Amino acid sequence: MKILCIGRNYAKHAAEMGTAGKLPVWFWKPDSAVIGDGDPVVLPPGIGEVHHEVELAVRFGMPARRLSAGDALRHLDAFTVAVDVTARDLQAAAKAAGEPWAMAKGFDTFLPLGAPQPLDVDLQELRLRLALDGEVRQDGSTVDMVRSVPRLVAEATAWTTMRPGDWLLTGTPEGVGPMRAGQKMLAEVVGHVALRTPVVDGPAATGP
């Protein structure tokens, strides 16, 4: 299983990150980052701020390569809620140095992923919401995507093959921010699927 992600697919989020007007950017998250409902997000020590980014995720049910937007949806078989957990200080340093974001995005537990849901909804009419300790931090709609799900699928499969079981994360609305150990996170595609994850500190690093 691989997980392909898109950055800067909501204009207001791009603005809050200081990247308004820049092109969307593709990146990967490893499958070792995936956790499920009830599993903790583990904050590695010494990496600075770690942020939440709630997203709509869609799963491929058929091999997909060089699809048109019009043919995209029939290659998908499920959707769910995801949280693209990001070590923001590491990402900022990587951006400044012109280096990849892989480490900032790829720590173990940095991808809470909800249970797959039947693809019988309008993917551009879904509400995404994330709360920490009951306080809503993100509340947006997929109608505000810069690129729709079919367009994302078409653009992604123009350069990479997606296989059954692979996931595509479609970007986050505005409101991203830090989380700390001891908090409880609730991420939702409202009315469809919820994902509850506690946030905990990880163990201190040990020497060789």
Percent pLDDT > 70 in the chain is 93
Cα 128 to Cα 56: distance, rounded to the nearest angstrom = 7
Single out the residue of 173, 127, 152 nearest to residue 24, CA to CA: 152
Segment 77-101 mean pLDDT = 95
* Beta-bridge partner residues of 80: 57
Q: What pLDDT band is residue 19 in, cutting at 50, 70 and 90?
A: low
Q: What pLDDT digit, counting tens, does each position of 22-37 carry?
A: 678 899 999 999 999 9
- At residue 203, the pLDDT reads 86
Lowest average pLDDT, out of 95-109, 122-136, 171-185, 192-206, goes to: 192-206
Average pLDDT score over the chain? 94
Q: What pLDDT digit, counting tens, does each position of 98-133 carry?
A: 999 899 999 999 999 999 999 999 999 999 999 999
The better pLDDT of the pair 204, 68 is held by 68
Domains of the chain with bracketed CATH: 3-201 (3.90.850.10)
In the numeric block, the tokens 């995720």 are attached to 57
- At residue 207, the pLDDT reads 46
Segment 168-173 mean pLDDT = 96
Cα 126 to Cα 109: distance, rounded to the nearest angstrom = 25
